[in-house]
Structure 1
Amino acid sequence: MQFNRFPLRSVSAVASLLFAASTAWAVNPFTVRDIRIEGLQRVEPGTVFVSLPVRVGDIYNDEKGSSAIRTLFGLGLFKDVRIEVSGDVLVIVVEERPTVADVEFVGTKEFDKDVLKKALRDVGLADGRPFDKAQLDRAEQELKRQYINRSLYAADVVTTVTPIERNRVNLTFTVVEGDPAKISEIRIVGNKVFGESTLRGLFDLDTGGWLSWYTKSDRYSRAKLNADIETLRSYYLTRGYLEFKVDSTQVAILPNKTDIGITINITEGERFVVSGVKLEGNFLGKDDEFKSLVTIRPGQAYNADEVAKTTKAFTDYFSNFGFAFARVEARPEIDRANNRVALVLQADPSRRAYVRKINVAGNNRTRDVVVRREFRQFEASWYDGDKIKLSRDRVDRLGYFSQVGIETQEVPGSPDQVDLTVNVVEKPTGSLSLGAGFSSGDGLGLSFGLKQENAFGSGNSLGVQINTSKVNRAIVFSTTDPYFTEDGVSRSIDVYHRTTSPYQDQSYYQLVTSGGSLRFGVPFTETDTVYFGAGLEQTTIVPGTLLPTSYQAHIDEFGPTSLAVPLTIGWSRDRRDSALAPNSGRYQRANAEWSPAGDARYLRATYQYQEFIPINKQFTAAFNGELGWGAAVGDRSYPVFKNFYGGGLGSVRGFEQGSLGPRDVSGTSVGGTRKVNLNAELLTPFPGAGNDRTLRMYAFLDVGSVSGPDGGLAINENANSLRSSVGVGISWISPVGPLRLAFAKPIKKYDGDKIQTLQFQIGTTF
């Protein structure tokens, strides 16, 4: 049937909002016999029909027409919508928005294109989505925001829209990034007690130096500025300035959009001295015990850190008795006339709580038992803050998770019970490493490693390590079960093959060592572990050029191949804040090795002690001491290949690697049975690197010697004497590992010593 269309009864999208106000567009209500849709290309008709507020058989009127247009526009799929009426047939005429076919970026160097595409996807612009000019404007603003976060305020974005077939468009964002905005000035206004340069030295942000290309410390970041302001506030609050405040912070971008000026206005206030500390509230009748936790001292300047430390110690101590909800408030009573402050520590232990159950969340791969066996807080026991903290630290030390947190939830209807939820975020624990390195001592070295720290989520580790250089080559297979027994006794198995040569030329003699060992670690306390082990080891001396007389004597006595059965016992304790770039803490380890059977029978012991002391934010003092001792067992000679060596990085810098101690008649160093090594360092961030501790320089003093029975082989009467050196160096946590570079000058040396002024190595940590 042919229907006549009446233009006056058609409703455009623009006029739809006037339906209710103007009778010129009025349509007499009628019963809809049919609904047709025109103009669809990619949108499914069902999408339109489902969205319409009117169906066949319904009464159509102006209100439903307005509602239909608003609903269809709300889908975001159409750029124009009209409703036409032909008799009792409703005709929906739509014009689809173009679809984004492709998004391309030109001139983007600062960002990976996938990062930018994700940012645009978050604002609704992506391949396959309808194109909207409003979304395009938001996309341009989002791109500029991304660049502003990188201090590229001059970045300019130009968008090109290219229509293509089938009502699609290609979008091209052309970016002129410009130069990054750099901090040209940092001013602190209002300071009277401390110099402006002293206060600016606390900041990680600065006006740049010759290393700013590496540290990017002159790149403005709101987050970094906030952190620096908190550092400034802490600096005053820990020195008695109780009423210190930051009045305002202005960040000004100059018209060239490449220079930034920062002005921080502060009010220092008066310096207050603590006049006394009082305890108020309920301290469970243990007032004396709580008083012993107070680190705030009357007569000293007010120190916010000590106040926070004391209140935390109080809440932690309350938690040891099951009071999980204890509140401790430090209330200052200020005497401004005399610049004194009395602190009142108000305590409310609230109620005691039991731990009903412990849940583990986030461990999609790691088994629950791997986490639970590290816990020292048990279910159905009193809430114990110390045990909970220890449990969290033990789970974190596993190394399987990037984040570990413990949440405490009250049990509804049971005010004396709580549930603990251990939230973990798993990280990849498998590693495949390929690398190359070069050191002045070992020459070129290649490395390959394949290790899985958390094999199959069981907590066991499996690995193979291969290292090769012209003087040191090794292949090691290892596996460790940290809970070989339920009590936490670990078991480690190692199989290894090592080849060592004192020279890079393969025509020189070599030591080839093959063996295996079985070791158990027994946790005697929460922080101390003692290791027991046994192994079987075979060492072969491969004759070659410059074979030392002592090695030849060993061959004459035992033959070129010696078998040893080493029994080991060791102990370690590591309390450093970082294994790679420590700033504080202590590290100790001791190990004894005894071979009572086989061709090589000996006793060998080592001890190492390290201490790191933070002097201030910039300087750290580091001390290292090592002792080594070896002796023969029974009537056998001490095996020469178990000798200690000294000199070079990790020992006395400035002397050639392994050159200290007794020498053969040929002048070859053969090591000794006793070793002492002492190192002192003063570390500071590299000039121009701000407070970045991954790149530091250091000054050092080294003292050490290698000595022992030489059987008349030593040709230098001063072989056993101490050597020492001083110098400076650079420590860098590089992408390929810790790198140490040292420039040393021997201050105590003897004729014949092999001096090496410049030394470097990748992989050393002290």
Structure 2
Amino acid sequence: MKVKYLVALAAVLCASVSWAREPFVVKDIRVEGIQRTEAGTVFNYLPVKVGDVLDDEKAAASIKALYATGFFKDVRLESENGVLLVVVEERPAIAQITIVGAKEFEKDKLKEGLKQAGLAESRIFDRSMLDKAEQELKQQYLSRGKYAVKITTTTTPLDRNRVGINFQVDEGKTAKIRKINIVGNEAFKEKDLLSAFVLRTPGLLTWFTKEDQYSKQKLSADLESLRTYYLNRGHLEFSIESSQVSITPDMQDIYITVNIVEGPQYKVSDIKLAGELLLPEEELRKLIKLGSGDVFSRERLTESVKLITDRLGDDGYAFANVNASPQLDKEKQQVGFTFFIDPGRRVYVRRIHITGNNRTRDEVIRREMRQFEGGWYSTSKINRSKLRIDRLNYFLAVDVETPAVPNTTDQIDVNVQVKEKATGAVMFGAGYSNMEGIILSGSVAQDNIFGTGKFVNLMVNTGRVNKVYSLSYTDPYFTRHGVTGGFDIYKRVLNTSSLQSVMNFNTDTTGANFRVGIPLNENDSVQVGLGAENTVIELGPNSPQRNIDFVNKFGESTNNIPLTVSWRRDGRDSAIWTTSGHTQRVFAEAGMPGVDLTYYKVSYDHSWYYPLSDTFTLMLKGELGYGDGYNGKELPFFKNFFAGGNTSVRGYRISSLGPRDDNNRALGGNIRTVGNVEILFPMPGMKNDRSVRLSTFLDGGTVWGSGGARPEQEGMRYSAGIAVTWISPMGPLKVSVAQPINNQPGDNLQRFQFQFGQQF
């Protein structure tokens, strides 16, 4: 740009010399030399009009104005009998931009980057812009560790004063981090310090994560993580003296050296409280996670400040200010803290504003709010409200802000912004095995019908194994106090003749069920259901003797009045992206006396989430189930527990574990146990994308039957593998690949399983 202005200035100076003549009145203006530019464009930029007096000053201004447009590389003014003649030479336009040899990036994205640098098709060609664009392109490759990249730029003149620009890219090989050295560490081993780094040397997965490629931003973040590591372990005077990054002459290997000064480890001497203490000092001290004699930790100090701030926020002090002032004793290597507390003014909530709910009604969200308009502000109520809205599972994201009301000192607003997701779904489930091929199932559901928060599910499954026709309805606020009500009407036809893993029998069950759910508190609820059903049984050839005995005893048609009672506790931090907390569920089903079937089944499952880091979450899940008959009757064989498949032990065919008959068909059992260990983490390179989550897992489980099983059928079965869950634009997709660990002869394996749903 500076070059362009210098040229324009030189032109103006030359023009000033050439126009050292008598001024004249402009009778007409003509433009010569234009090919693409309209004459009207020149007239618009020209500061001289017909009838004006053109002197040296206006002539210089005219030339300067036309140069400033960037359209022209030469401008001359001539006069002939009162006619002003503007003679221009246009700059060429960019007709096309081609990029050859680019593999690391998509060409469209590279062109978008060039456009941001000022270089794009149809724009005026500027050599300085070309140089800038070339550097920008090179910078893109440097950010990916392509330090050996070479970019050759050529411009080709075309007809009608146009040019074509070609970028020839030789990407070269990606430079890798070969060594990271930390110099000056004595208190901790280097490998422990490097565990806090994102950057690392090449490993098993770095080809995918790209963590072995140097990035200035990543190194800065790693150095801050290193500082945090030391500060959380008492090294208050820790400092990073320098960091050097060197690359070998062949641009292939990168070496990073970090020089640090650890400083001594400090312990906490005492804790004091000062300022306006609105709460009892004893209560405040319980919120402070540091005590006399403890090794100093910045993390626990920050947590203490937050706990005090949140506690004051529960009493309406939304703008409380808590500062921890340190008093350092370098000789004793001790540090004391004085917590200065300024609660500020107590504030109340003026209005609650809800945005983003284009489909969901306001009342559906507002009834989950625990913070009310006109009430004193409460941090815990705000957080609880956000969590309850999140658990509705109607939204991809829930954000809550509490801005102060302008021109007031004691009022705030609560702004709840939601991002809706598709809550209606046509679900398709599928599994594949060598013996059965592809198994399909489907259902139609709407979790938030007409934006009312009510749930409707219509299942029509016409698979060759399961035929299910059911209608379910749930009103989560059957009463205004949060009591839920709902019903289920169903017809289930089970045909196992095509399943070589399950004993051969058919059942046709028709029934209905009414449900009521009662919330006990914010996390706990109890649900009670009572129904009636009729089951028609048809035994196939070679049926097990116990099935034949059951039909002989009860007949081919049985009636049942099932009573169900369940208790559920949900303490997760989020239903959208769970990282901590747990869920528990106890479910009991019993066939009421006075009809054909009298039995009971009890099951318990517990899922526990623990954040291993900002990225990884550990999930532990356990399930136990037990069933039997009473009043001298037995547990119906079609009420048995089963295990195996993508909801229990992956890698084994659905419902195939446990006792089997002489034809190797699963019989099920009255005892079931399943355990899962899973590590959840985001897709590498997509940490902030909550639509995709990966996991590695270890599953184990089986069922036991009262009749016993052959030795090769007994015992737990285990599998390990990887899974991915993706909330795609087409619907939720779950895929798992599992490898059985201790499978025995006769086990039915199914290593690959997936489930896909089409949302609307």
TM-score (norm: length of structure 2) = 0.82
Q: Is residue 295 of structure 2 the alignment partner of residue 297 of structure 1? A: no
Output aligned runs, 1:544-559, within 5 Å: 544-559=540-555
Q: Is residue 578 of structure 2 the alignment partner of residue 587 of structure 1? A: no
Selected match of 1:571 from 567, 575, 591: 567
Unaligned runs of 5+ in 2: 1-6, 727-732, 756-760
Confirm or deny: 8 A CA contact 2:737 2:753 kept in the other structure. Answer: yes
Q: Quote the residue 1:529 is aligned against.
A: 525
What does the per-residue CA deviation read over 1:461-518, in whole Å, with 9 as the maximum and x for residues that have no partner? 6677788988667687766655555544556666765646386359954456566666
Selected match of 2:641 from 617, 640, 644: 644
Output aligned runs, 1:314-325, within 5 Å: 314-325=308-319
What does the per-residue CA deviation read over 1:112-166, in whole Å, with 9 as the maximum and x for residues that have no partner? 3332233233233334333333333333222222222322233333344444444
Output aligned runs, 1:205-284, within 5 Å: 205-284=199-278
Hey, what's the Cα distance between the residues in 2 that align with 1:155 and 1:480? Answer: 61
Query: Deviation at 1:269?
Result: 0.9
Query: Deviation at 1:338?
Result: 1.0
Output aligned runs, 1:420-569, within 5 Å: 420-426=414-420, 437-438=431-432, 444-446=438-440, 459=453, 482-483=476-477, 486-489=480-483, 497=492, 499=494, 501=496, 504-505=499-500, 508-511=504-507, 519=515, 521-533=517-529, 539-560=535-556, 562=558, 564=560, 566-569=562-565
What residue identity is the alignment partner of 1:588?
Answer: Q
Confirm or deny: 8 A CA contact 1:652 1:723 kept in the other structure. Answer: no
Q: Is residue 715 of structure 2 the alignment partner of residue 723 of structure 1? A: yes
Confirm or deny: 8 A CA contact 2:585 2:606 kept in the other structure. Answer: yes
Query: Deviation at 1:520?
Result: 5.2
Confirm or deny: 8 A CA contact 1:744 1:757 kept in the other structure. Answer: no
Selected match of 1:126 from 97, 106, 120: 120
The DSSP-based 3-state class of the residue aligned with 1:292 is helix
Q: Quote the residue 1:17 is aligned against.
A: 12
Comparing 358-367 with 215-224, greater Cα deviation is found at 358-367
Hey, what's the Cα distance between the residues in 1 that align with 2:161 and 2:427? Answer: 49
Output aligned runs, 1:121-200, within 5 Å: 121-200=115-194
Hey, what's the Cα distance between the residues in 2 that align with 1:536 and 1:464? Answer: 19
Hey, what's the Cα distance between the residues in 1 that align with 2:539 and 2:425? Answer: 38
Hey, what's the Cα distance between the residues in 2 that align with 1:177 and 1:433? Answer: 45
Change (3 A) 1:178 1:615: closer
What does the per-residue CA deviation read over 1:191-218, in whole Å, with 9 as the maximum and x for residues that have no partner? 1111112211232321112332233321
What does the per-residue CA deviation read over 1:617-647, in whole Å, with 9 as the maximum and x for residues that have no partner? 9998765432223344767653211111357
Output aligned runs, 1:589-628, within 5 Å: 589-596=585-592, 600=597, 602-612=599-609, 623-628=620-625
What does the per-residue CA deviation read over 1:217-242, in whole Å, with 9 as the maximum and x for residues that have no partner? 21223343333333322221221112
Change (3 A) 1:465 1:61: farther
Q: Quote the residue 1:3 is aligned against.
A: none
Change (3 A) 1:85 1:738: same
Hey, what's the Cα distance between the residues in 2 that align with 1:113 and 1:698? Answer: 38
Q: Is residue 697 of structure 2 the alignment partner of residue 706 of structure 1? A: no
Confirm or deny: 8 A CA contact 2:23 2:55 kept in the other structure. Answer: yes
Hey, what's the Cα distance between the residues in 1 that align with 2:218 and 2:506? Answer: 54
Q: Is residue 304 of structure 2 the alignment partner of residue 310 of structure 1? A: yes
Comparing 624-633 with 269-278, greater Cα deviation is found at 624-633
What residue identity is the alignment partner of 2:382?
Answer: I
Q: Is residue 370 of structure 2 the alignment partner of residue 376 of structure 1? A: yes
Hey, what's the Cα distance between the residues in 2 that align with 1:429 and 1:145? Answer: 43
What residue identity is the alignment partner of 1:376?
Answer: R
Query: Deviation at 1:308?
Result: 0.8
The DSSP-based 3-state class of the residue aligned with 2:287 is coil
The DSSP-based 3-state class of the residue aligned with 2:168 is strand
Confirm or deny: 8 A CA contact 2:722 2:738 kept in the other structure. Answer: yes
Change (3 A) 1:377 1:65: farther
Q: Quote the residue 2:724 is aligned against.
A: 733
What residue identity is the alignment partner of 1:553?
Answer: D
Hey, what's the Cα distance between the residues in 2 that align with 1:650 and 1:681? Answer: 13
Selected match of 2:85 from 76, 81, 91: 91
Query: Deviation at 1:342?
Result: 1.0
Hey, what's the Cα distance between the residues in 2 that align with 1:414 and 1:618? Answer: 41
Selected match of 1:116 from 105, 110, 117: 110
Change (3 A) 1:157 1:381: same
What residue identity is the alignment partner of 2:601?
Answer: R
Query: Deviation at 1:387?
Result: 1.1
Hey, what's the Cα distance between the residues in 1 that align with 2:205 and 2:136? Answer: 31
Hey, what's the Cα distance between the residues in 2 that align with 1:554 and 1:400? Answer: 45
The DSSP-based 3-state class of the residue aligned with 2:198 is coil
What does the per-residue CA deviation read over 1:691-718, in whole Å, with 9 as the maximum and x for residues that have no partner? 9997766778x6765244xxxxx36599
Confirm or deny: 8 A CA contact 1:662 1:716 kept in the other structure. Answer: yes
Change (3 A) 1:88 1:200: same
Q: Is residue 46 of structure 2 the alignment partner of residue 55 of structure 1? A: no
Confirm or deny: 8 A CA contact 1:13 1:82 kept in the other structure. Answer: no
Hey, what's the Cα distance between the residues in 1 that align with 2:365 and 2:25? Answer: 68
Hey, what's the Cα distance between the residues in 2 that align with 1:134 and 1:328? Answer: 53
What residue identity is the alignment partner of 2:23?
Answer: P
RMSD: 4.4
What does the per-residue CA deviation read over 1:708-745, in whole Å, with 9 as the maximum and x for residues that have no partner? 4xxxxx365999x98357x7733443765353635534
TM-score (norm: length of structure 1) = 0.82
Hey, what's the Cα distance between the residues in 2 that align with 1:440 and 1:584? Answer: 39
Change (3 A) 1:88 1:339: same
Q: Is residue 65 of structure 2 the alignment partner of residue 71 of structure 1? A: yes
What residue identity is the alignment partner of 2:74?
Answer: D
Hey, what's the Cα distance between the residues in 1 that align with 2:59 and 2:533? Answer: 91
Confirm or deny: 8 A CA contact 1:587 1:609 kept in the other structure. Answer: yes
Change (3 A) 1:203 1:466: farther
Change (3 A) 1:682 1:567: closer
Confirm or deny: 8 A CA contact 1:548 1:668 kept in the other structure. Answer: no
Structure 1 vs Structure 2: percent identity of aligned residues?
A: 41
Confirm or deny: 8 A CA contact 1:359 1:420 kept in the other structure. Answer: yes
Confirm or deny: 8 A CA contact 2:644 2:656 kept in the other structure. Answer: yes
Confirm or deny: 8 A CA contact 2:432 2:750 kept in the other structure. Answer: no
Confirm or deny: 8 A CA contact 1:742 1:758 kept in the other structure. Answer: no
Hey, what's the Cα distance between the residues in 1 that align with 2:748 and 2:203? Answer: 29
What residue identity is the alignment partner of 1:569?
Answer: V
Query: Deviation at 1:318?
Result: 0.8
Hey, what's the Cα distance between the residues in 2 that align with 1:138 and 1:202? Answer: 37
Q: Quote the residue 2:94 is aligned against.
A: 100
Hey, what's the Cα distance between the residues in 2 that align with 1:739 and 1:647? Answer: 13
Hey, what's the Cα distance between the residues in 2 that align with 1:341 and 1:363? Answer: 50
The DSSP-based 3-state class of the residue aligned with 2:404 is strand
Change (3 A) 1:562 1:159: farther
The DSSP-based 3-state class of the residue aligned with 1:332 is strand
Confirm or deny: 8 A CA contact 1:438 1:444 kept in the other structure. Answer: yes
Change (3 A) 1:137 1:293: same
What residue identity is the alignment partner of 1:525?
Answer: N
Confirm or deny: 8 A CA contact 1:625 1:679 kept in the other structure. Answer: yes
What does the per-residue CA deviation read over 1:321-342, in whole Å, with 9 as the maximum and x for residues that have no partner? 1111111111111111111111
Query: Deviation at 1:413?
Result: 2.4
The DSSP-based 3-state class of the residue aligned with 2:58 is helix
Query: Deviation at 1:380?
Result: 1.9
